[in-house]
Structure 1
Amino acid sequence: MAADRPLVRVRNLQKHFDREDSILDRLLGDTTNPVRAVDGVSFDIREGETLGLVGESGCGKSTTGETLLRLLDPTGGKVEYDGEDLAEHEDLFSFRRRAGVVFQDPFSSLDPRMTVGASIRQPLDIHDWPWPHSDVDTSRPKGELRRERVADLMERVGLSADQLDRYPNEFSGGQRQRVGIARALALDPEFLVLDEPTSALDVSVQAQVLNLLEDLQDDFDLTYLFISHDLSVIRHICDRVAVMYLGEIVEVAPTEELFANPQHPYTEALLESVPRASTDERDRDIEPLTGDVPSPRNPPSGCRFRTRCPKVIPPADLELTQPQYRAVMDVRRRIENRDVSLDGLDSSGGDAVETLFDRLLEGVDLPASERPHLREAFEALVEGDFEAAAETLRERYASVCERRHPDGERAACHLDADDVRLDADGNGVWVGEELDAPVTDTDS
């Protein structure tokens, strides 16, 4: 492999899951909105390193690993392995020798009807190991060589060769995961996808498996994609970290640099949620992320994290603090979703608008300059015109975070852009050129 070329190169990888909602849709050929599980992911993995892929459950981490290995057919994008485009390989048989996977659940990844020895041996039988020019004595019977190979692998992962004729139900969770690791190593691969390999294990066993994986990486010259939601595990084993949110990579950095100086607000929130062992931080205030993760069927426009981000960038001419701006944006989102009750409002009465101020912005001290814009929106709302109310708020309060998709070398966040300046509180203010027309999430 060329010294300056990554072993694995992923560019704009996509995996969308589409389905027809009903028999009528299938008969009429109507298309449905797909689940964008992986939606434009790009990263490199250099030979010999461990790249961590971290994020909340459901963000697309496991789907990324499975699509990279072509266990799932990609919707779009490119995956290159050692300089070769996998899409150009009609037969991935040779690639399967060079890349493997360790699955998350050691209880379901092994066939209960097969002995663990048979599970480890299966790749050897499928690929007819040993191959010509292998560094083994090919004059001996293949069956004998394969059984020796299985026994060696069992010993290498910390199990006894005497156990290879036992069934998975005779092993603990940690032992089963060791069997899964031995099976992944059977063909002497160069690259492994480790999909949450310790999440189903007891804490005491997790450290043993992690240490085993590190030893095996040195002994077998392995390259890892390590998928996890556990940041403490990621920090222990990974050289670099890619942070994933709602199908996209939002930040990539060397591990210690990312933990010491996160650039994306989502990365900051993840790190803030990690429990601290030091008593010096026992009184620290933790600000959990607000709101629910949006649906991957209809992700937000612009920055996908903006609906939960504590640092959304307001337009330049607003005199709102971040909490005030967030409160107004929450009102706007409720109006767009028609999640505002109009019960008890009298459209002919003069206090209906004030009632909405009390209902929707209770406890929020807004500057006088912003009340006319909100009043105009609430007047339309009193008349039952949700769309006019939402449009009024969009025209005034739409953020660059929703109008443009952020790009950056390290972090996909507008806070890193030249068109944004930071105020005294560290919040971003847009100072760039005039933005495009406001958008709604349905436009994305």
Structure 2
Amino acid sequence: MKRLKRPVQIFQSAIFFQAFLYLIAFPSMASGEIQTTPTQLTEQEQQLVNWVGSKQAIMLKDLETYVNINTWTMNRDGLDQFRDLLDEELQSLGFETTLKPSGEIELLSCQEKKVTFAQHLLGQRIGKSSTKVLLNGHLDTVFPKDDEFQTMVIETDGKIKGPGVLDMKGGIVAMTYALKALHQHGRLQNSNITVFFNTDEEVGSLGSRPYIEELAMQHDVGLVFEGSHNHKLARQRKGLGQARIKVIGREAHAGEAHVDGVSANLELAHKVIALEALTDYEKKTTVNVGIMQGGETRNTRPGCADAFVDLRFADNHDGLELKTQVERIALTRYTNHSDFPALPKSEVWSVLHRPAKAIHPTTDNLIAEAMGLSTLIGEPIVGTYWAGGGTDGSLMQAKGLPTVDSLGLNGDGVHSSREWTTTKSLMARTKLITVFLDRLIHQ
């Protein structure tokens, strides 16, 4: 007797078949557009939407609490505080939670420092549902403890400003309240849902990447709650990499013994010029030397200098080539000193921490469904775009998991003191996520 496919395989096959039908029915999809899937809300789904709508005040209060906790990636105390609040939330919804260590990362720099990130949070509900859903969000933000941008403000027009309101504490509130709505209406029973909150996304998920990739291979659908802008969802994403370069020279008095010094700054300056020249806008490849520092005093020839470099690329082949070129430049000697032939000396560390995220037919179908729901619920999603920023959704989809990675709130100004979203978006996206997740669970 012929063995039947597993339920998960049936689910995935059905989605792929539906995506194929859409390509036939809507030829514009083949040229890069996604057509909205027509849909209607059931009576039960409308009840879920109404429940979320009644929680606006408390949702804003929770968002304010989260935003006002500084969760800079290097602020472990703040991240621990935020994570513990979410741990309690997940446990109250029937999730079994576990803390996951991040390990130690050694940074190549003149200071030779090591960094240990805050522990990550894993929550799981294991049931009979044939669809395993992975929900991901990051707890860290980019604003240091001494940054002036520290608190949330709600303006009279409903605009919400604050560190992380969009990236991505607003998305976390939307996701947790969607889970609360489903729990309140008995819709989490028998669900197979995993929630993973990591604390190091803003620096490339260097410690959490193994967990994310392992989880991706164990699930059927991935949802990430990064913010979006212009009412569009990210369909493709650039790949990301990073590199650290350290140059050792020879210190000497800048006046009495200038000739006896080997300037690490001068050598690094040549490398920076060569690195920036790798940028190719036509290929959508960019190199940005974001941080460079060297020397200790004005009147001393600098004996050490370092740089922190950002890499972006359109496809993974270009990323590998870019990494090779960066390493070549880093190890090329541009200056020399006849009395000290071994100097300057350079070291380099580099990694491609986010693969490029390509168009995926199953993900397209999920986006089309979300677009259809948004037209019924409010603040319609009007299309998609190719994003230059990276998310953990790129890691998830690279491991074969269809992933919608910008289901968080709509707004703009991330990584700046202009970061904003709106109360309207908080409510609309939470309602959308609630219904969308309910349909995934009960396919």
Structure-1-length-normalised TM-score = 0.25
Whichever of the two has the greater Rg, that structure is: 1
- Highest RCO, 1 vs 2 (Cα 8 Å, sep ≥ 6): 2
* TM-score for the superposition, normalised by structure 2: 0.25
